[in-house]
Structure 1
Amino acid sequence: MYEDYVQIGFVLSVITITFLILILLLINLMLSSRNKKLRHKAELLQAHSNQREATEAARMEVAVATFSDISRDLHDEVGQLLTFSILQLEYLSSKPEQERQILIDEVKQSVRDSLDAIRTISRGLNPDFIHEQGLLISIEHLVQRAQHKTGISIDLISNPEINDLPATTAVIVYRIIRECITNSVRHGQATKIEISFSITENENQVIISDNGISKDVNAFNAPGLGAKSMSYYASLINGNVVFKNNTENGVTVVLAFPALKS
């Protein structure tokens, strides 16, 4: 009988110890799982923090590039027009009566051109305006203004599907096209520009080609050409910009980005 009690006690002890071990293992698994979740949560928070910091940095870079563009546009366009107006007004008092009205009309036109330039700059910064008006119409207005101002011939091969692009993408496309037109006129000495669009299921392309001066490959990154800012803007829509010389003369700029629609 005593031996039976010993065996029962031994079995109960083994069961108790086994049960305690199982409880300890379960607690350990729970703690381990909790620690993994905490680590995962910490990693997610860190990743979110890093992403937020990267986003803020990107926004800051865009803001700096945008302010730089605005400064240049105000200096090159509005500044010159207003300077011309001031000079005309200074000459006004020294001119005979019959010539004053001509100068006054020139000053009025210069001020109108200044206001038009300011409107164009503000439109290029406003995603809502371009999205509401439509990207294609915005580009058409940009082309008409460039032709009127510089006399350059611009062939815009329209594609209504570009109006389906998201607002932010539309602004970036607009700004890159505007930058290309400016470069063709100011640096390329072009007399003709062609703008076309390739819309497919997987990729969108904007092709801007001119008949101006061909450049060395390294020259595309020269200060003042805006190549870096264009490439950066393209990266914001997961795209890229390629600069290449044409077979005979001139430069072609290709903006390519994924076919994401609004």
Structure 2
Amino acid sequence: MALFWRIFGLNALVLGAATALLLWAPVTVSVPVALTEAVVLIVGMVVMLVANAVLLQVGLAPLERVTRRMATVDLLRPGQRLSVAGHGGVPDLVRAFNDMLDRLENERATSSARALSAQEGERHRIAQELHDEVGQSMTAVLLELKRAADRTADPVLRTDLLHAQETTRSSLDDVRRLARRLRPGVLEDLGLISALTTLASDLSTHTGLAVHRHFASDLPRLDQPTELVLYRVAQESLTNVARHAEATEVSVRLDSAGDTVQLVICDNGRGIGLAHEGAGIRGMRERALLIGATLDLQSVPHGGLQVSLTVPLSPEGGSR
């Protein structure tokens, strides 16, 4: 039934009931109106308004559900659909809304895949340039400083050159570390476990955090996109811990259970509280959607935050 006829029918029902009551009930109106007659008319009008409001509330309830879902829907949390039954105006509207969410989620997933693929390509290019151009140039500068320090007889100048040499060596290490973060070559060469181990070791070395690692020995074989998503989620989570959590220790766990692989990063920091999810967390959600995984964030009882990425596996290996 169309929305117009639904509202018309509800009002007609109320007015028909009121008319039938006036026709068969022993109620009359005199001139001037008596007090009891006015009370009866006012009570009858109130009853009609209440009945009309209740019926309209029932009839328009699906529209209110659509309105609430429109205000809270998040394309990074797929599957938020409204239940629908029957046919006609309102049920068809709910179905159209669900179909619209399907199209938006598919388009969001496609555009995110293109954007993240372009991002990985750009990271690869920048890392290559840092390694091949900036790294080589700084290595040449480092060698020149060493030659100059070896040739000079002035102790003050020699000390300055050695200091400049150490500064250049430290900067070269930073450049190499940035190149590894942009393009995890160890992930491509040695696999996910080695890449996560290197990531955790670097974090512990540069921040002083105590990093506890637990990687299951019976992990199934994963395809390259799945390994890259797991690595990037771990990288972003550990970066957030180092920058914002004010934690003293963090654990990284990678387990397999049945047909799923789960990555869990848990710290003892101050947690996320009521803060809104930033670009980093939403980026992790977008990556999770690319492989059909589920990202969950929850506070832990002793304080801190636990990030869980659950990846469903296909029988052939890799994400579904």
Instruction: Please indicate the TM-score interval, normalised by the length of the shorter structure.
Output: 0.5 to 0.7
Q: Is the 8 A contact 1:134 1:163 kept in 2?
A: no
In structure 2, the partner of 1:152 is 209
Q: Identity over the aligned pairs, expressed in percent?
A: 19
Distance (whole Å) between structure 2 residues aligned to residue 221 and residue 161 of structure 1? 33
In structure 2, the CA distance between the partners of 1:57 and 1:216, relative to structure 1 (3 Å rule), is same
Task: Name the structure 2 match of 1:230.
Answer: 284
d(CA) in 2 for partners of 1:112 and 1:137?
Answer: 20
**Partner amino acid, structure 1, of 2:172:** V
Paired position in structure 2 for 1:179: 236
* Distance in structure 1 (CA, Å) of the matches to 2:281 and 2:109: 22
Cα distance in structure 1, aligned partners of 2:239 and 2:181: 13
- 1:52–1:251: structure 2 CA closer, same or farther, 3 Å change rule? closer
Contact 1:136 1:160 in 2 (8 A): no
In structure 1, how many angstroms separate the alpha carbons of the residues matched to 2:250 and 2:105?
A: 40
Letter in 2 for 1:60: R
Any conservation in 2 of the 1:203–1:258 contact (CA below 8 Å)? yes
Q: Distance in 1 between matches of 2:178 and 2:312?
A: 32
In structure 1, which of residues 100, 109, 118 is the aligned counterpart of residue 179 of structure 2?
A: 118
Report the equivalent of 1:201.
258
CA contact (8 A) 2:109 2:289 kept: no
| Contact 1:210/1:250 (8 A) holds in 2 | yes
CA RMSD of aligned residues (A): 3.6
Residue 221 of structure 1 aligns to a residue in which SS? coil
Give the number of the structure whose residues are more often helix, by fraction.
1
The one-character-per-residue Cα deviations of 1:63-117 (angstroms, maximum 9, x if unpaired) are 466589x59x99xxx9xxx9xx9xxx9xxxxxx4234412321221221221232
Match for 2:171: what amino acid? Answer: S
Q: Alignment partner of 1:160: what SS?
A: coil
In the alignment, structure 1 residue 221 sits paired with structure 2 residue 277: yes
Count of aligned pairs: 190
The answer (yes or no) to whether the contact 2:215–2:255 under 8 Å persists in 1 is no
In structure 1, stretches of 5+ residues that fail to align are 1-49, 90-95
Alpha carbons 1:131, 1:170 under 8 Å: kept: no
Question: Does structure 2 retain, via aligned residues, the 8 Å contact 1:135–1:163?
Answer: no
Q: Distance in 2 between matches of 1:253 and 1:55?
A: 22
Residue 216 of structure 1 aligns to a residue in which SS? Answer: coil
Q: Please list every run of 5 or more consecutive structure 2 residues that lacks an aligned counterpart in the other structure.
A: 1-103, 139-144, 146-155
Change (3 A) 1:207 1:54: closer
Q: Is the 8 A contact 2:250 2:265 kept in 1?
A: yes
In the aligned structure 2, how far is the partner of 1:173 from the partner of 1:107?
34
State the match for 1:7 in structure 2.
Answer: none
Q: 1:247 to 1:163 in 2, by over 3 A?
A: same
Instruction: Say if 1:142 and 1:178, in contact at 8 Å, map to a contact too.
Output: yes
- 2:162 alignment partner AA: Q
1:169 aligns with 2:226: yes
What amino acid sits opposite 1:245 in the alignment?
S
